[in-house]
Amino acid sequence: MTTDAKYEARRFDACDQSAIDTAVLERLPFDYPGSATAVAYETDEFTSVCPWTGLPDFGRLSITYVPQRHLVELRSLKYYLTSFRNVGILQEHAVNRILNDLVALLQPSSMKVEAHFNERGGVRTHATAAYPALP
């Protein structure tokens, strides 16, 4: 048996994107609309999994936005981000999914979601998604 054949059938189960818990997200009123306040959330503990192998992807995630009328409630954001833990999603898709979910919830003036994923197979990934879209 070759080494490749030994690992061909081995994989870890991964959830599909329906496991991402958007229902847990809550928003709070922002008392300073029009103030151009920039809000940033960062975590070194973002995880998801490769959709093909189920192997974990670890990354540093930052979310920066200018609120209009709403802020995201932090506990709900933590639970939401944790729901990605076993989801099979491409790294580039994860930042876009987070951006889309948070823009729908908050309707900010602008938002940027950026992730620096740890090296896997000799390659690191840095993905950024922005609203409004970058030119």
Domains in the chain, number: 1
Residue 43, domain CATH: 3.30.1130.10
Task: Determine whether 15 is an active site residue.
Answer: no
Catalytic residue chosen out of the listed positions 15, 21, 50, 101: 50
pTM given for the model: 0.90
Distance in angstroms (rounded) separating the CA atoms of residues 17 and 19: 5
Cα 25 from chain centroid? 13
Q: Is 92 exposed, middle or buried (0-12, 13-18, 19+ CB in 10 A)?
A: middle
- Residue 77 structural domain: 12-17+24-131
Contact 77, 41 (CB under 8 A): yes
- The pLDDT tens digits along the chain (135 residues) read 555 666 666 667 789 999 999 999 999 999 999 898 999 999 999 999 999 888 899 999 999 999 999 999 999 999 999 999 999 999 999 999 999 999 999 999 999 999 999 998 889 999 999 999 866
| 85, part of any domain | yes
**Active-site position among 4, 16, 44, 57:** 57
Backbone angles phi, psi at 93, to 5 degrees: -80, -30
Q: Catalytic: 50?
A: yes
